[in-house]
Structure 1
Amino acid sequence: MTDTDWGELAQHWLDRLADCSVPGAGVTRLPFTPEHRRALGVLTELMEEAGLVVRLDAAGTLIGRLGGPESAPALLMGSHQDSVREGGAYDGIMGVVLPVLALMKLRHDEVTLPFAVEVLAFADEEGVRFPSALMGPRALAGTFDMATLDLHDSDGITLRRAMEEFGLNPDSLPDLKRNPTQVLGWVEIHLEQGPVLESAGLNIGIVTGICGIERHMVTLTGKAAHAGTVPMHLRNDALAGAAELTLATETLAHETDGLLATVGALHVRPGVVNAVPGEVSLTLEIRALNDALRECAGAAITHTARDIATRRGLSLDIARTYAQGATTCSSKSIEHLCKAVATGSRSEVRRLVSGATHDTSAMAELCSVGMVFTACRDGISHHPSELVSEKAMTAGIQTLEQYLIQLQ
């Protein structure tokens, strides 16, 4: 098989997996559903063709294992099988297919590894069906909160019930915790979900870390009034205050290297054309690879919000509702992956920071982690038009193969 055939083979399997979707645009495959079950069947077939021993754990993670010498530790690789609603055919699932094909290529090239390798297809990373995510890797790391099992989807079905109806035993989740001494590390390959690699003419990039995230809920309350009878200088316009805060947030992010800040949703009351807005609720999200920088930005925006409220005669309610620390990829993994890119694709090695969260962030609680990005067309993801070229997937398979060879 030629090198170019590997990307074509990856596309074949991804096309089959894309069919494991509810009807409609793009790919919709939520955890513990018939579509999930069908995808497991396709992945099992692929893993077995690659010579892997396949099993399903209590978290719904499909694991394909290539055994090594007795008592040898295992390198873990993989990503998630689930999608957003009407998403693409590559996000997550490509990160399961490419590692399996890398192992298949090693066998084709008659290379034997002195350690075990496991490829994992996690059930739920996106958090679309249930208001939680990353259950599979958190179970392996021993950080899964069992209270999450009581959360329910839009139909009122709890996570526990969905898992039980899928044939799993959620009470055994704590038993999935891995012994770190038996894990060599974790590597995930994922489409970039951004335009950097494509704009640079590169197929592969190496991730140095995943941004930390914090979210705030902000409510500014003024006084609703008739839009035609209250003079401008006597108004307490909550939306004007929210607009000022939004622009101040954007300005801070523009002026601060490494900071991303977004006001993503606003709810305006009373929300009619002829009334001064009396109340606005908005969401604020801040991301950065440096946790101290992110927290400093959160404090600065909070101070700005208070100043705006005072000047405009508004009351303010602001609270941080979520926080997740940044993940740093191990320097050793970065070094080996960069060397693997140079060996496998003979191109410039670009290092990137991931602004999106991935399974890697939870696996970092268990072991050292590394991550590879492939270029994607126009930087589009979570959309039916999401596309990774066969050439980029071939480069990804080569990179993973060379990385595995280096670890011998």
Structure 2
Amino acid sequence: MALGRQLMARLDEAARHSRPGPGVTRLFCSDEHRAVLELIADWMRQAGLTPELDASGNLVGRNARAMAGEKTLIMGSHQDTVVEGGKYDGMLGVALPLQALQALKEAGTELPYGIEVVAFGDEEGTRFQSTLVGSRALAGTFDPASLEARDTDGVTLGEALKGFGGDPARIPELARNPEQVLGFVEVHIEQGPVLEQRDHAVGVVTALTGIERHRMRVTGKAGHAGTTPMAGRRDALVGAAGMVVEADRILNATEELVGVVGKLEVRPNAVNVIPAEVTFTLELRSPEADVRERGRREILEAFERHAEARGLELSVETTYQAEAVACADWLIEALEKACRGCGEPAERLFSGAGHDGLAMHDLTDIGMLFVRCRDGLSHHPDEAISGEDAGRATQVLMRFLTDLGASAQAGPPT
């Protein structure tokens, strides 16, 4: 399928803008970010959109109707990646709608509503641990305090944005008027195994999971590893290790709750010194807020018991929290209709990952189309989709856009 081949070629080209090493590593406001935006801007122009870098580091492409202030459908996803991630997470949702819009343009199809495609600057939070910067800016919920977040080199988010060509002081001006927005639609790889198990190329998302992240600091006492008796040691790493195991036990015993300890730092991190301090992260996800809250409470109580038993101090800082959000019924039904019109099964499924829709939900109705990925693998260099599925998903989105055109003047159902 020509659409699929073209799309896969674009995704391969985008993946070259990465730090050296396995997979794709492209961080917010990095040289790789700057380079890939030049590529995306060219795709936008080919699709009939005018690209512009906004104050928060998003690259936004608009058609003439959007720039004239007509009611606008926003599409897009993020360009940034985790460290050593894959080439499709995020970038598929930027490249695919631009491919669909270019195909419609070349076919002479003019959509009777505004279009805005956004390559969000930061969704993963890899560099500054402050996620959804760009989508929160559009939704009008950006927190200026996040500008003080620092990367591992001590650079603040605000400083990085200024160096990148953004303007932190003008971020509040990016908030869209809800009355001028039709909705937000994102295409994304599933990052899970459901579509592959069903043997379906695409699926329609019903809701996005709730997520919370915490930073734990376990403090003990350093000492000479050779002269300090084992009994009575206040080893922060041993205590933290017990906490990690306990978190894993509770997560495995709790339905509809998943989580991970993904980052761990040891101080002084020396071969012959008892660890004095360990900092680690805990992320929890669940579609049900009460399940997540109950799991968090049980995990933190277990951590406190471990700390007390070993004479350690424990501090907990919540660094991020977003509640689960539902996709709009009218967009779910419209995407299902487009799937059926293209001969694709249109079963519904839940997203266990967070996306820019978590923020955009505060602005407008959201909808999401998932694309099958091999082995359900994501955030990994081996992340993969097929060219055939890419083409089929592009056709579904084209059908959705043209169907929406028939009712654009009336707006979404009420």
TM-score range with shorter-chain normalisation?
0.7 to 0.9
Question: Kindly tell me: are residues 280 and 30 of structure 1, through their superposed partners in 2, closer, same or farther at Cα, counting changes over 3 Å?
Answer: closer
1:277-296 alignment, distance < 5 Å: 282-296=280-294
1:323-342 alignment, distance < 5 Å: 323-342=321-340
Distance 2:72 2:79 in 1: 21
2:95 match: 97
Q: Tell me, yes or no, if the aligned pair for 1:63 and 1:120 is still in contact at 8 Å.
A: yes
* Pairwise CA distance, 1:345: 4.1
Letter in 1 for 2:200: L
1:397 match: 394
Letter in 2 for 1:253: L
2:368 match: 371
Distance 2:228 2:142 in 1: 56
1:74 match: 72
Question: Kindly tell me: are residues 257 and 120 of structure 1, through their superposed partners in 2, closer, same or farther at Cα, counting changes over 3 Å?
Answer: same
* Pairwise CA distance, 1:197: 1.9
Q: TM-score, normalised by structure 1?
A: 0.85
Letter in 1 for 2:60: I
Q: Tell me, yes or no, if the aligned pair for 2:218 and 2:278 is still in contact at 8 Å.
A: yes
In structure 1, list runs of 5 or more residues that go unmatched: none
Question: Kindly tell me: are residues 309 and 149 of structure 1, through their superposed partners in 2, closer, same or farther at Cα, counting changes over 3 Å?
Answer: closer
2:218 match: 219
Letter in 2 for 1:8: R
1:311-350 alignment, distance < 5 Å: 312=309, 314-315=311-312, 317-322=314-319, 323-350=321-348
Distance 1:215 1:124 in 2: 17
2:103 counterpart of 1:136: no
Letter in 2 for 1:121: A
Provide the aligned length of Structure 1 versus Structure 2. 402
1:170 match: 168
* Pairwise CA distance, 1:242: 5.6
1:5-404 alignment, distance < 5 Å: 5-68=2-65, 71-216=69-214, 217=216, 219=218, 245-265=243-263, 282-306=280-304, 312=309, 314-315=311-312, 317-322=314-319, 323-355=321-353, 357-404=354-401
SS in 2 for 1:14: helix
Higher mean C-alpha displacement, 266-275 vs 389-398: 266-275
Q: Tell me, yes or no, if the aligned pair for 1:82 and 1:125 is still in contact at 8 Å.
A: yes
* Pairwise CA distance, 1:170: 2.6
Letter in 1 for 2:39: V
Q: Tell me, yes or no, if the aligned pair for 1:225 and 1:278 is still in contact at 8 Å.
A: no
* Pairwise CA distance, 1:6: 0.5
* Deviation by residue 1:341-400 (Cα, 9 ceiling, x = unmatched): 222242252412223x22111111211111122111222222322222111211221221
Distance 2:391 2:306 in 1: 52
* Pairwise CA distance, 1:405: 2.5
Question: Kindly tell me: are residues 160 and 111 of structure 1, through their superposed partners in 2, closer, same or farther at Cα, counting changes over 3 Å?
Answer: same
* Deviation by residue 1:317-345 (Cα, 9 ceiling, x = unmatched): 25252332222222222222222222224
2:412 match: none
Question: Kindly tell me: are residues 169 and 254 of structure 1, through their superposed partners in 2, closer, same or farther at Cα, counting changes over 3 Å?
Answer: closer
Distance 1:113 1:244 in 2: 58
Higher mean C-alpha displacement, 202-211 vs 93-102: 202-211
In structure 2, list runs of 5 or more residues that go unmatched: 407-414
The alignment yields a C-alpha RMSD, in angstroms, of 3.3
* Pairwise CA distance, 1:178: 0.8
